Chains A and B, each alone.
Chain A
Amino acid sequence: MQNKPLSFSVDIRLNQRRNLLNFDYSIVLTVFLLGLFGLAMIYSASGSFTLVLRQAMYFVLGAILMITAAMSNFRKMEPIYLNAVWIGFFFLVLVLILPNSGTTNRWINLGFIGFQPSELMRFLLPISAAAYLTRNPQIKLSDWIIVLVTTLVAFILVFLQPDFGTSAIVLLSGIMPIILSGLPWRFIIYSFLGGIGTLPFLWMSLMDYQKERIYTFISPEADALGSGWNIAQSKIAIGSGQFFGKGYMEGSQSQLDFIPESHTDFIFAVIVEEFGFLGALGLFLLYAFLIHRLLYVAKSSNSKFAKLVSATLSIILAAYITLNISMVVGIFPVVGMPLPFISQGGTALVVNMITIGIILSLRRTT
Chain B
Amino acid sequence: MNNFSKERFKTGEEYSRALFFLSPFILLFSISLFQVLNLTLFQGDKYQTIAESNRIYQKPISPVRGFIYDRNGTLLAENIVQRDLYVTPAYIEDSAETILKLSNLLDVPYELLDENFSRGVKKVKKFDSFPLVKALNEEQIAKAKVNLDSISGIEVKATLKRYVLHEETLAHVLGYVGDISSGDIRRDKLLAELQNTQIGKTGIEKEFDYVLRGKPGIQTQERDVKGKLVRILDTEGAEDGKDIYLTIDQKLQEHLFKLFENRRGALVALEPKTGLVRALISSPSFNPNILNSIVDTDEVESLFSNKESPIFNRAISGQYPPASTLKPFVGLAAIENEVISWDKIIKDDGEFYVEGDPRPYRGWKENGHGRVDMRKAIAESSDVYFYTIAFDLTLAGIRPMLDSFGFGKKTGLTDFEANGLLPDKKWKLGYIGDFWFKGDTINLGIGQGYILATPLQLAMAYSGLANKGVIYQPQFIQPENEKSFEPKKIAEIQLSDNKAWEKMEQALVDVISARNGTAHKVYDANSVVIAGKTGTAQIKSILPGKEYDAIRENPALRDHALFVGYGPVEDPKLVVAVIIENGESGSEVAAPIVKSAINFFTGGFDAE
Contacts and interface: CB of A to CB of B under 8 A. Distances in A.
Which interface residue of A180, A184, A240, A329 has the most chain B CB atoms within 10 A?
A: A240
Contacts of A92: none
B48 A315 contact: no
Interface string A173-198: 00010011110100000000000000
Interface stretch (A103-111, A112-120, A159-167, A250-258): A250-258
Interface stretch (B14-22, B61-69, B409-417, B587-595): B14-22
B223 interface: yes
A287 B11 CA distance: 28
A236 B52 CA distance: 10
5 contacts: A180-B17, A239-B44, A256-B230, A325-B29, A329-B32
Contacts of A280: 33, 36, 40
Given A240-B50, A325-B32, A295 B44 contact: no
Contact of B25 (A237, A281, A322): A322
Contacts of A49: none
Contacts, number: 156
B1 interface: yes
A298 B35 CA distance: 30
Interface string B31-44: 11101110111011
A258 B15 contact: no
Contacts of A322: 25-26, 28-29, 32
A298 B44 contact: no
A257 B9 contact: no
B222 A240 contact: no
Contacts of B5: 138
A65 interface: no
Given A253-B54, A295-B22, A315-B21, A326 B1 contact: no
B263 interface: no
Given A256-B223, A280-B36, A181 B18 contact: no
Nearest to A181: B14
B41 A277 contact: yes
Contacts of B11: 304
Nearest to A317: B25
B13 interface: yes
Q: Nearest 3 A-B pairs (CB), nearest first?
A: A239-B47, A311-B18, A240-B51
A252 B53 CA distance: 11
B437 interface: no
Contacts of A252: 51-52, 54-55, 222
A141 interface: yes
A299 interface: yes
Contact of B31 (A138, A243, A272, A331): A331
Interface in B122-158: none
B1 A258 contact: no
B35 A329 contact: yes
Interface in A293-322: 295, 298-299, 304, 307-308, 311-312, 314-315, 318-319, 321-322
Contacts of B226: 257
A182 B9 contact: yes
A284 B1 CA distance: 45
Interface string A235-264: 111111111000000001100111000000
B54 A258 contact: yes
A288 B28 CA distance: 13
Which interface residue of B1, B47, B51, B225 has the most chain A CB atoms within 10 A?
A: B51
B15 A311 contact: yes
A280 B41 CA distance: 12
Nearest to B126: A225
Chain B's interface size range is 35 or more
A323 interface: yes
A61 interface: no
Contacts of B41: 242-243, 277
B29 A141 contact: no
Interface string B41-83: 1011111101110110000000000000000000000000000
A336 interface: no
Contact of B51 (A176, A253, A299, A319): A253
Given A235-B47, A253-B51, A277 B15 contact: no
B7 interface: yes
Nearest to B45: A242
B224 interface: yes
Contact of B54 (A236, A276, A287): A236
A298 B14 contact: yes
A277 to B, nearest CB: 4
Interface of A: 138-141, 176, 179-182, 184, 233, 235-243, 252-253, 256-258, 272, 276-277, 280-281, 284, 287-288, 291, 295, 298-299, 304, 307-308, 311-312, 314-315, 318-319, 321-323, 325-326, 329-332
Contact of B222 (A256, A299, A318): A256
Contacts of A295: 15, 18-19, 22
Given A184-B7, A236-B47, A258-B54, A272 B36 contact: yes
Contacts of B225: 256-258
Given A252-B54, A256-B223, A315-B25, A241 B40 contact: yes
A307 B15 contact: yes
B28 A323 contact: yes
Contact of B32 (A318, A319, A331): A331
B28 A332 contact: yes
B4 interface: yes
B40 A318 contact: no
Interface string B496-528: 000000000000000000000000000000000
B15 to A, nearest CB: 5
B44 A329 contact: no
Contact of B21 (A176, A277, A332): A176
Given A243-B44, A256-B225, A314-B18, 19 more contacts: A141-B1, A141-B4, A176-B21, A179-B21, A181-B14, A182-B13, A184-B7, A238-B39, A240-B52, A243-B41, A272-B40, A277-B41, A280-B40, A295-B15, A295-B22, A318-B26, A321-B25, A326-B31, A329-B32
A207 to B, nearest CB: 24
Nearest to A297: B15
Given A182-B9, A236-B54, A239-B48, A304 B32 contact: no
Contacts of A258: 51, 54-55, 224-225
Contacts of B46: 239
A180 B18 CA distance: 7
A277 B230 contact: no
Nearest to A182: B9
Contacts of A307: 14-15
B51 A242 contact: no
Nearest to A235: B39
A298 B11 CA distance: 11
A237 B14 contact: no
Nearest to A296: B15
B59 to A, nearest CB: 16
Interface string B244-282: 000000000000000000000000000000000000000
Nearest to B27: A322
Contact of A277 (B9, B36, B224): B36
A330 B35 contact: yes
A241 to B, nearest CB: 6
Contact of A239 (B9, B43, B55, B230): B43
Contact of B48 (A240, A257, A314, A325): A240
B40 A277 contact: yes
B322 to A, nearest CB: 64
Nearest to B53: A236
A238 B51 CA distance: 10
A247 B222 CA distance: 18
